[in-house]
Structure 1
Amino acid sequence: MSLLERLKSAAPEDWNAYVDHAFVRGLGDGSLPQAAFRNYLVQDYLFLIQFARAHALAAYKSRTLADMQAARGGLAAILDEMGLHLRVCERWGLSAADVEATEEQQATVAYTRYVLDVGMSGDLLDLQVALIPCTLGYAEIGRRLAPDGIDAVRADHPYRDWIAEYSGDAFQQAGKAAHDWLEDLGRRYGSDARFGELVGIFGKAARLEADFWQQGLEAARAGA
């Protein structure tokens, strides 16, 4: 069993609360309130800024050229995602200036700073375990929301562009690269003695992902 599958099996409630959150189900069937999605779009861009920093930290933590190249690939994927994200924001009437001028909300700060703290205090495997729920969770969600491909999603679906981004080949390939690197790091630096600690990091990151979805729903209910 891969390290990822072992982590998911050891923290099933945390993982399922994230990938099967009400926000995700609303994205899939189109019932998600648009106010929740707008809040999410803005906060997710601010989130990605901090995750770019975390991938840069991964390069710093690397001790081999191969790891530095893998970290660079992850950073490039995040920066590409940020560009795509801003284009989605613009289609929703949110300019880059407006997005960048918005303050981070509590769940955004909690999650991103947790990942950066894990990276600063731990090693490269710790950091990748903290990062991986984001990358591979979104890849799993993208596949789940478009199991037959994006062409099978109705043209008037309000969140079709978002689903297309995360179910598309580019993001799925980025997810595969991240998964491969996790497994490689696990073989080199993992051990049975460390597994409980890694589960704790993984589960916490997944719970913070669920809190990030919930933040969007609560903002919509509050009229934000």
Structure 2
Amino acid sequence: MAFSDDLLDAGSHIWTAQFDHPFVTELAAGELDPEAFRRWLEQDYRYLFDYARTYAVTGAKAREETAMATLLGGADAVLNEELELHRSFAAAYGVSEAELADTTKAPTCEAYTSFLVRTAYERPVPVTVAALFPCMRGYLDVADHMAALADAEPGEISHRYAPFIETYTGEEFRAETAALGDLVDEYAETHPDHRDAMREAFLTSARLELSFWEMAYTDEGWLA
């Protein structure tokens, strides 16, 4: 079994919780409160800057050509594709770019981005790659699950959240996710001494992914 599959087995209960979360099931049905989607959009926009930073720092630390290409390419894709996609989402849902930029991170977003950036600076490259993986693989699997719940191919879903499902089930996103999964497997093969730490980092990010849906759904905020 590939190590990336081993990680998914270890986190299967987290994946199940994501699939069953009301944010996911209601979005799939087109019934999600627009304010909850707006909260996700604003928080994910802020998250993506640190996600790109994590890719970039890790790519700069990597020594293997393939790893550098995958990680630095990932940073470029987030900065020049996914953030622009979020801005287009925002325009469609009546959220200005200024409102996106002015958003204060909610506690879960702050915790997740701090974990990723700290891991990138302080931990070995294989561990950070494992920490990056749940975001990519989680969104692909969740979007595939949403399409299944909608009982339609992504291009045939007609409700307001169809672009979300189409984006994260698209071939380009699948290819980027597969490349990161391959890198997880390569590092697990060449650095078996890091496997336990890679698994721990993967599971931490996966739990934070689940918490991100909850954050957006419940309007999590600071107490003071």
Do they fold alike, i.e. is TM over 0.5?
Answer: yes
Who is 2:208 aligned against? Answer: 208
Who is 2:115 aligned against? Answer: 114
SS of the residue corresponding to residue 146 of structure 1 reads: helix
Who is 2:96 aligned against? Answer: 95
Mapped partners of 1:30, 1:209: distance in 2: 21
Who is 1:70 aligned against? Answer: 70
Mapped partners of 1:77, 1:170: distance in 2: 10
Amino acid at match of 2:9: S
Mapped partners of 2:109, 2:185: distance in 1: 27
Mapped partners of 1:22, 1:190: distance in 2: 38
1:124 CA displacement: 0.9
Who is 1:187 aligned against? Answer: 189
Who is 2:153 aligned against? Answer: 149
Mapped partners of 1:9, 1:159: distance in 2: 29
Counterparts of 1:1-224 in structure 2, within 5 Å, are: 1-79=1-79, 80-147=81-148, 149-153=153-157, 155=158, 157-191=159-193, 194-219=194-219
Tell me which stretches of 4 or more aligned residues in structure 1 moved more than 4 Å.
none
Deviations 1:70-92 (A, max 9, x none): 11221122121111111011100
Amino acid at match of 1:65: E
TM-score normalised per structure 1? 0.90
Range with greater deviation from structure 2 (8-17 or 61-70)? 8-17
Deviations 1:1-52 (A, max 9, x none): 1111101212322332234422111111122111100111010000001101
1:128 CA displacement: 0.7
Distance of aligned partners of 1:74 and 1:19 in 2 relative to their CA distance in 1, 3 Å threshold: farther
TM-score normalised per structure 2? 0.90
Mapped partners of 1:178, 1:95: distance in 2: 32
Range with greater deviation from structure 2 (130-139 or 58-67)? 58-67
Is residue 135–residue 209 contact of structure 2 (8 Å, CA) maintained in 1? yes
Range with greater deviation from structure 2 (42-51 or 74-83)? 74-83
Mapped partners of 1:204, 1:68: distance in 2: 24
> How many percent of aligned residue pairs carry the same amino acid?
29
Aligned residues: 217
